[in-house]
Amino acid sequence: MLEFSGRETAFSREGCAVQVNTRNFGDILGTLSLLDCHRPVYPLTFADPGFSSWSLSDWWDQCHRKRGLVIWADETTRNDPHGHGEALAGVLLGKVDALECTDFDSSRDGGIALWMDLLALGLAPTLAGSSGTRSPHTFPGKMRSLIYSNESTWVNAVANGEVTATLGPSVVIRLNDSHPGQPIGFSNHRLALEANWDPTGRPDAPLPLMIEILGGQGLFWKSVCNTGNWMCAEIPIPPDTGPQISVRMTDANGKILAQSSPFTFFNRQPLRTEYALCATKRLLARLDETAKQLSGNLIHIDRREQSEANLKAAKIKISSIFS
């Protein structure tokens, strides 16, 4: 904690700046990275000596009061399809600013697959790329966040969804001249796509590279990148995409190289597609399982009522989408 730098740069080198903040471990409720706070948010772990038990809402409320950024950390326990229910509730209630993405492995429940479920319901937060470095043997910056804004601070850019998570290519994506995080409208069910990228960002990727677009029913458009580092296209938007879509770049083997945070249509509602209904069941199962685990957990007994209230409010929000 002596290295905590808050909103200041701890050190910088070769154009990179480092801030030292905290990762707060919430047991079955979820783990949060609390960034850019002007002072630490305590306790760093539930049930620390001298502290009563807390709920995640205590952490995210404190972090926001300290003008910080709340990110749902990509811990191993997030892979449990029934885990981290209060962190999920924070996303659904707009209290968690972003979902940390340490890889694009769609086979695990807590990674990009979880974010895709939220996208299907029009509730996906910012997708914040992070290398998740845990030791000197892992390379920092392998997965990172590309920020679009030259005017906002990086904290505001992430909070506003102006981010693309990438494994290398610096992909700048616009739909109807809007970037991720901005609401967009369209007419005649068509959108103008512009994409530019650094061809040296992932030189080992098998060619050809592809640009793909997905929404509430999954992938609905893709095209080969025939040029060196740019693409322009007119995209037909099917009626069952829902209120959010995302653009990504893949290689010839289908490996995702970059994925944008959501573009949100201001004039669309989620649709009752088969994928969206399955996503609803998976998200409700996480909330229900956490509520079940809370009933016999003594660590959280003092703040169980608050956590249960967050879980209930999140369930109501999901259940109301198709009512």
The per-residue pLDDT for range 83-126, each reduced to its tens digit, is 899 999 999 999 999 999 999 999 998 999 999 999 999 999 99
Average pLDDT over residues 235-248: 90
List phi, psi (to 5°) of 232.
Answer: -130, 135
Query: Using 50, 70 and 90 to split pLDDT, how confident is the model at 196?
Result: very high
Looking at residue 205, its amino acid is A
Average pLDDT over residues 230-238: 91
Closest CA to 93 of 288, 285, 317: 317
List phi, psi (to 5°) of 120.
Answer: -60, -25
Of 166-170, 186-190, 247-251, the one with minimum mean pLDDT is 186-190
Q: Facing residues of 135 across strands? A: none
Containing domain of residue 65, as a range?
1-121+270-323
Structure tokens at 89: 């509730």
Vertex 37 angle, CA 309 and 264, to 5°:
60
Report if residue 289 sits inside a domain.
Answer: yes
Average pLDDT over residues 129-145: 78
Q: Facing residues of 247 across strands? A: 213
Report if residue 47 sits inside a domain.
Answer: yes
Vertex 77 angle, CA 307 and 96, to 5°:
50
Report if residue 231 sits inside a domain.
Answer: no
Coil, helix or strand at residue 55: coil
Query: Using 50, 70 and 90 to split pLDDT, how confident is the model at 51?
Result: low
Report if residue 40 sits inside a domain.
Answer: yes
The highest-confidence range among 48-52, 200-204, 212-216, 300-304, by mean pLDDT, is 212-216
Residue pair 319/121 in contact (Cβ under 8 Å)? The answer is: no
Query: Using 50, 70 and 90 to split pLDDT, how confident is the model at 238?
Result: confident
Please give the tally of structural domains in the chain: 1
Report if residue 192 sits inside a domain.
Answer: no
Vertex 65 angle, CA 62 and 66, to 5°:
90
Task: Say what the pTM is.
Answer: 0.92
Give CA–CA dist 90/174, Å, rounded. Answer: 28
Helix (H) / strand (E) element for 59: namely helix 56-65
The pLDDT tens digits of the residues spanning 269-315 come to 888 888 899 999 999 999 999 999 888 766 666 778 889 999 999 99
Give CA–CA dist 214/190, Å, rounded. Answer: 14
Q: For the chain, what percent of residues have pLDDT higher than 90? A: 53
Contacts (Cβ under 8 Å, ≥6 apart) of 84 = 28, 29, 30, 31, 72, 75, 77, 78, 110, 286, 290
Average pLDDT over residues 128-139: 77
Report if residue 159 sits inside a domain.
Answer: no
List phi, psi (to 5°) of 309.
Answer: -65, -40
Report if residue 126 sits inside a domain.
Answer: no
Report if residue 34 sits inside a domain.
Answer: yes
Query: Using 50, 70 and 90 to split pLDDT, how confident is the model at 5?
Result: confident
